[in-house]
């Protein structure tokens, strides 16, 4: 009798598992939520900024989606508010962007002002 109970339990377990509906395994925009290879990228927005005092703008993308508004930026070791940075000195600047557990970094160069800034 024990063998019949065991056989019944095994068949019942196999039957329940074969009928289970899988939720959340659909393809949404080509990205798998369980995929550990999330692509988080931060970069400088291409504009005319290149000198001290210019407005340098940053953008952050997570799997191609713009997540700039929810990303924190650090420039030369200092937290900034938002995604706009106006440098007060020239040289190479390092940016670290953080969104949840994702981190990206990049560098950009700020050029010194030519002349005294008054056209001289």
pTM, two decimal places: 0.64
pLDDT in tens, 44-53: 998 899 999 9
Dist. CA 83–CA 57, nearest whole Å: 6
Domains present along the chain, CATH in parentheses: 38-113 (2.60.40.1080)
Dist. CA 113–CA 48, nearest whole Å: 14
pLDDT in tens, 2-44: 666 655 666 666 654 554 443 333 333 444 455 556 899 999 9
Phi then psi for residue 8, to 5 deg, are: -60, -45
Q: Strand (E) positions, the chain?
A: 40-44, 56-62, 65-66, 72-75, 78-80, 84-85, 91-99, 102-110
């Amino acid at each position: 009798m024990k063998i019949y109970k065991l056989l019944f339990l095994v068949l019942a377990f196999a039957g329940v598992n074969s009928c289970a509906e899988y939720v959340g395994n659909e393809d949404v925009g080509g990205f798998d939520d369980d995929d550990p290879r999330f692509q988080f990228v931060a970069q400088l927005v291409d504009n005319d900024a290149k000198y001290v005092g210019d407005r340098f703008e940053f953008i952050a993308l997570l799997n191609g989606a713009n997540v700039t508004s929810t990303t924190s930026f650090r420039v030369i070791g200092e937290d900034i508010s938002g995604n706009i940075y106006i440098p007060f000195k020239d040289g190479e600047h390092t940016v670290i962007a953080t969104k949840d557990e994702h981190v990206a970094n990049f560098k950009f160069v700020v050029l010194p002002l030519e002349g005294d800034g008054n056209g001289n």
